[in-house]
Amino acid sequence: MPKTKMAGSLLPPISRLQRWFAYCKLCFLSLFYSANPGDDWLLEFMFQPVYHLVELVVPWAGPVFVGLVCCLLSSVVLIMYLCVLPTVLPTLGMPARCVHLLLAHWLLVHVVFNFKHAVCVPPGTPSWAVVDRSKVSTCKKCFSPRPPRTHHCSVCNRCVLTMDHHCYWMNNCVGHFNHRYFFSFCTFTSLGCVYCCVTSAPLATEAYAAQKAATEQGHRNGLLLYMWVLCGGVSVLLTALTLWHMRLVTRGVTSVERLQNRQNQKELRNKDQCFRNVYDHGALENWKRFLGVRCRRDWLCRVALPSSHPPLNDGYVWSSGS
């Protein structure tokens, strides 16, 4: 039987050389191919060294930020105990003293409790042992299951249930199991900073007017001004962040979902269709689900007082709003 020749061997040498050159060119261009139109790939390629630098810095930057928060909180608490309360309380009556002490320590306990849990409680990662493989998609980056509302965190390199964002100040992702602690920390820290500013305002005013006093008194004045400026700045920034997250919770969305929903709204608007958030159960019901409130008593036991209760659902299955 005669041997059959390959189709490529039938071509003249010049054509084979051109074909080989075209193949090499295609392989080279495929290294820089991007499915997205435009020249964004060039900008992304140029920023690759920056991305690698961030990946090297992030592992140790998180603990540094957590340590910084602990130092700032500790400094404010010490100044309140050593400089502010010993001066303010003797000028008040007994009922006012009790109110001050109860309010101050209620805020302090909430701040410490919620910060500790926001840092230490895992946000929740999906597991193949829990989900039905036929009903969920797979993450293309970490190959873990992706139930509804699950997103991949590029910092932690893992998928997070009901992911909101990655918080460097907590060195943790804010997700299904610690979102409430993050929000409570922001809320009570904002209230605590406002309390410190209001309580120390007369002392800070006197300290500002007497900056050139004796050395010993000057140290005290410097501490009072430091605390007042720190608490004032943090209260403004953190209150704005708290109000933003209150708006998200009221609407039943996370920060990631809000960005996705805005894109979906634009696409549906172009098609003359309306967008509806399927996870929005109404403002009050959204807050109950977020805070884990089942009955009226829970508003006291689970909201007004520190509580480590888990969320009402497991983060895998979500019901649709009416």
Active site (catalytic) residues: 167
The helix/strand/coil state of 138 is strand
DSSP per-residue codes, 151-213: EEETTTTEEETT--EEETTTTEEE-TTTHHHHHHHHHHHHHHHHHHHHHHHHHHHHHHHTTTS
Name the region of 260 (left: φ>0; alpha: ψ -120 to 50; beta: rest): alpha
Torsion angle of the four alpha carbons 6, 7, 11, 17, in this order, in degrees rounded to the nearest 10: -80
For the chain, state the CA radius of gyration. Answer: 29
Q: Cα separation of 100 and 69, whole Å? A: 24
- Is residue 159 within 8 A of residue 150, CB to CB? The reply is yes
- Is residue 196 within 8 A of residue 80, CB to CB? The reply is yes
Q: Cα separation of 85 and 75, whole Å? A: 14
Q: Cα separation of 237 and 246, whole Å? A: 14
What are residue 167's DSSP bridge partners? 172
Q: How far is CA 118 from CA 102, 177, 180, 183, in A?
A: 24, 9, 8, 9
